[in-house]
Amino acid sequence: MSLTSCATRTHVVTKPNRVTVVKTAPKHYKIVNVRGKRYYFWNGNHYRKTRRGYVLVRV
């Protein structure tokens, strides 16, 4: 009985969950609707409003 594997190398990559939260939006933000959801846009980024503040999201 042989316990060798046909895989020569296994590589697992885990990315840490990084969440960017902004407590208050700046005065010059814009509200945009993307696919029926409301996002806040400023400084080239989209944010979702949460209880803790505004969370940076990819759209």
pLDDT at 18: 82
Taking a C-beta distance cutoff of 8 angstroms, is the pair 27, 52 a contact?
no
Confidence (pLDDT) at 5: 53
Please check whether residue 30 lies inside any domain of the structure: yes
Q: Is 33 helix (H, G, I), strand (E, B) or coil?
A: strand
Q: Can you give the residue range of the structural domain that contains 45?
A: 24-57
Asked, for residue 28, whether it belongs to a domain, the answer is: yes
Asked if 45 contacts 21 with a C-beta cutoff of 8 angstroms, the reply is no
**42 domain residue, yes or no:** yes
pTM over cut 0.75? no
**Rounded-to-integer distance, Cα 2 and Cα 43, Å:** 59
Residue 45 counted as domain residue: yes
Residue 40 maps to a domain: yes
Confidence of residue 19 (pLDDT cuts 50, 70, 90): confident
**Residue whose token pair is 């316990």:** 3
Query: Domain total for the chain?
Result: 1
